[in-house]
Amino acid sequence: MIVSTFGFAGNPGSPSFVRVELRFERGILFRISGFSSQAARASHARIRSALIACGQRWPGKAITVNLAPAELSRTSTAFDLPIALAILASRGVIPASALTLKASAGELGLDGSIRPWQTSIFENRINITSPLSDSNKIKTLISPPLSGYSEPIFPHETFTHLSDLIAYFKSPTQSKNSSNNSKLLLKASSTTTIQTQSESTFENIQGEETAKRKAIIAAAGSHDLIMLGPPGSGKTVLAKCIHSLLPDLSPKHHSECTSIHAAAGHLFNPNSKRPPWQSPHSSTNLNGLIGSWSTLKSRGVIPGSWSLAHHGVLFLDEFAEFSRGTLEACRSPLESHTISLVRAAGSSELPASALLIAALNPCPCGRGTGRVKSCSCQESEIKRYLRKVSGPVADRIAIHLELGHELTEPSTASTSAMSWTSARATVARIRKWNLEHHGDDRFSHGPQMTPKAADLLHSCRTVLKLSHRGLHHVRNVALTAALVDDSPSIELEHIAEAGASRLFDRKTWLR
């Protein structure tokens, strides 16, 4: 069966309708007439990922797309949307007859979001022409929302996500009620989006009570955390637990996240209040992590993972595998929670208040640590590996944690960490308190230190050879620990616990 719909081609000044024909064939190739194989591959990757993100199956067949008339067909990302719709119609997900009277344009994001494309063709209200005889039958235009678009030439529907568009085609009653305002459509279909990310809880981790307690402290006090542990010791699960412990975003924070994600060209969870979670691969470069200036003049700054994780969690697994320059660039957001991008034409500041969770193996082979030698790594190799995390970077991370050392026996009632529900409630309680008390206010209004605890804090500096910043972290983490316990004062054990969280400051680690 051949499915046919309409797209646009041409320059912004002279757009034209183009017929998009699609058929399934035997094989696995994906071809678009008039596209180079490279452009077709890129288009294939975007459409496939977007459909899967919307819960659709990718057809296990060869797909041939013809764009007619051939002389007008150009390589353009705006064909993503008509091709995706034609694939859905070929699979019977949406009615093919609904497509024949519609023209669509838009680039798809990997998450199914629909990005704007050459919106000036609509904004300028230039008549769209076409040599195709049946294009005068086109009744509706489908595109992403357009800025400054006031007088439509055609009835016009705008969508920001492919799943909303599928819902629109599936439900004719909704299509009758739909208006030019995409917000109404977004609202109507908000219930159809499924929350796919399941929550990780402490039940996914056997034993490791110290780690669980530190996870609660990190989430409650927004303390950055670095963990060392062999592969399979639960580093990723613990990081996900910390993310799950964070309370939902406030409307203000949600709108901040939405605008940061929009600057990067994608849609931020319109239907969920959960804080963002970013876990870039260790091959990510400086621009990907910190952000960069776009080469396109009008686009300005493109936020990196640090900013995309604003108000949420930035999880950097295989921390030592990131390039040295990329790791050193983390110093500024760790310290100031902002990123400053400077170039000759001016500077721009990006918010980057994310909770950093870094994870790394204890040695290059992953089986041993500085103390327990069950691996074959030479001491010099281990040192070289751990030194990739420089002193200044480790110094800025409040909690250092070692996993995989505790026996994974089922915990007894007396030693087990608090239940998941009470852990979430504790985190929410302390975060609320932190919003009311910042900086030094925390220390003057929070639990006060007992004389014994103050003595221990003082000796921490000499015994653990802590920097001024390291000492501040110990004090700060101890305060959060006291708040977690709902203790009226910061006790000796709170300081001891926080001091034990400075692994990288110890001589045994980085001699």
Binding piece for Zn ion, criterion CB under 5 A, among 172-180, 214-222, 369-377, 493-501: 369-377
Supply the minimum distance, in Å, between the C-beta of residue 367 and Zn ion. 5
Are the C-beta atoms of residues 501 and 398 closer than 8 Å to each other?
Answer: yes
Supply the minimum distance, in Å, between the C-beta of residue 381 and Zn ion. 7
Binding piece for Zn ion, criterion CB under 5 A, among 4-12, 209-217, 338-346, 371-379: 371-379
Supply the minimum distance, in Å, between the C-beta of residue 382 and Zn ion. 7
Choose between 246 and 375: whose C-beta lies nearer to Zn ion: 375
Residue carrying structure tokens 């409630």: 425
Total chain residues near Zn ion (CB under 5 A): 5
The vertex-486 CA angle with 482 and 492, nearest 5°, equals: 30
Choose between 123 and 321: whose C-beta lies nearer to Zn ion: 321
Instruction: Name the DSSP letter for residue 348.
Output: E
Name the token pair of 447. 């639990």
Three-state DSSP state, 122:
helix
Binding mask 305-344 for Zn ion (x = CB under 5 A): ----------------------------------------
Choose between 316 and 386: whose C-beta lies nearer to Zn ion: 386
Binding piece for Zn ion, criterion CB under 5 A, among 235-243, 260-268, 361-369, 440-448: 361-369
276-314: b or e for each residue (b if 16 or more CB lie within 10 Å)? bbbbbeeebebebbbbbbeeeeeeebbbbbbbbbbbbbb
Choose between 267 and 365: whose C-beta lies nearer to Zn ion: 365
257 lies in the binding site for Zn ion (CB under 5 A): no
How many C-alpha atoms does 419 have within 13 Å on its Cβ side?
A: 2
Task: For residue 251, say if its preceding peptide bond is cis, omega within 30 degrees of 0.
Answer: no
Supply the minimum distance, in Å, between the C-beta of residue 291 and Zn ion. 35
Binding piece for Zn ion, criterion CB under 5 A, among 52-60, 151-159, 270-278, 372-380: 372-380
User: For residues 279 and 243, what is the distance between their CA atoms, to the nearest angstrom?
Assistant: 12
Are the C-beta atoms of residues 427 and 421 closer than 8 Å to each other?
Answer: no
Task: Among 368, 446, 447, 499, indicate the residue that binds Zn ion (CB under 5 A).
Answer: 368
Binding piece for Zn ion, criterion CB under 5 A, among 184-192, 331-339, 362-370, 400-408: 362-370
Are the C-beta atoms of residues 321 and 282 closer than 8 Å to each other?
Answer: yes
Supply the minimum distance, in Å, between the C-beta of residue 363 and Zn ion. 3
Instruction: Name the DSSP letter for residue 129.
Output: B
Choose between 377 and 449: whose C-beta lies nearer to Zn ion: 377
Choose between 363 and 464: whose C-beta lies nearer to Zn ion: 363
499 lies in the binding site for Zn ion (CB under 5 A): no
How many C-alpha atoms does 68 have within 13 Å on its Cβ side?
A: 12
Binding piece for Zn ion, criterion CB under 5 A, among 147-155, 357-365, 403-411, 469-477: 357-365
360 lies in the binding site for Zn ion (CB under 5 A): no
Query: Given the DSSP bridges, would you call strands 114-115 and 107-108 parallel, antiparallel or unpaired?
Result: antiparallel
User: For residues 69 and 80, what is the distance between their CA atoms, to the nearest angstrom?
Assistant: 18
Supply the minimum distance, in Å, between the C-beta of residue 502 and Zn ion. 23
Supply the minimum distance, in Å, between the C-beta of residue 283 and Zn ion. 22
363 lies in the binding site for Zn ion (CB under 5 A): yes
Residue 417's nearest CA partner among 243, 199, 238 is: 238
Binding piece for Zn ion, criterion CB under 5 A, among 125-133, 335-343, 359-367, 407-415: 359-367
Choose between 231 and 488: whose C-beta lies nearer to Zn ion: 231
Choose between 27 and 231: whose C-beta lies nearer to Zn ion: 231
Binding piece for Zn ion, criterion CB under 5 A, among 94-102, 221-229, 364-372, 458-466: 364-372
Residue carrying structure tokens 């709108």: 255
Task: Among 365, 428, 492, 510, indicate the residue that binds Zn ion (CB under 5 A).
Answer: 365
What separation in angstroms does the CA of 431 have from each of 55, 181, 199, 257, 324?
A: 35, 37, 20, 18, 33
Supply the minimum distance, in Å, between the C-beta of residue 383 and Zn ion. 12
Supply the minimum distance, in Å, between the C-beta of residue 235 and Zn ion. 16
User: For residues 442 and 496, what is the distance between their CA atoms, to the nearest angstrom?
Assistant: 20
Contacts of 67 (CB under 8 A, 6+ apart): 7, 9, 18, 19, 20, 21, 32, 33, 34, 73, 79
Task: Among 375, 477, 498, 503, indicate the residue that binds Zn ion (CB under 5 A).
Answer: 375
User: For residues 319 and 448, what is the distance between their CA atoms, to the nearest angstrom?
Assistant: 36
Choose between 262 and 365: whose C-beta lies nearer to Zn ion: 365
Three-state DSSP state, 393:
helix
Binding piece for Zn ion, criterion CB under 5 A, among 41-49, 75-83, 368-376, 387-395: 368-376
Three-state DSSP state, 341:
strand
Choose between 312 and 368: whose C-beta lies nearer to Zn ion: 368
Residue by residue, DSSP assigns 142-181 as EES--TT--S-SS-EEE-SBHHHHHHHHH-HHHHHH--S-
Name the token pair of 295. 């080469």
377 lies in the binding site for Zn ion (CB under 5 A): yes
Choose between 270 and 366: whose C-beta lies nearer to Zn ion: 366
Contact positions toward Zn ion, by CB under 5 A?
A: 363, 365, 368, 375, 377
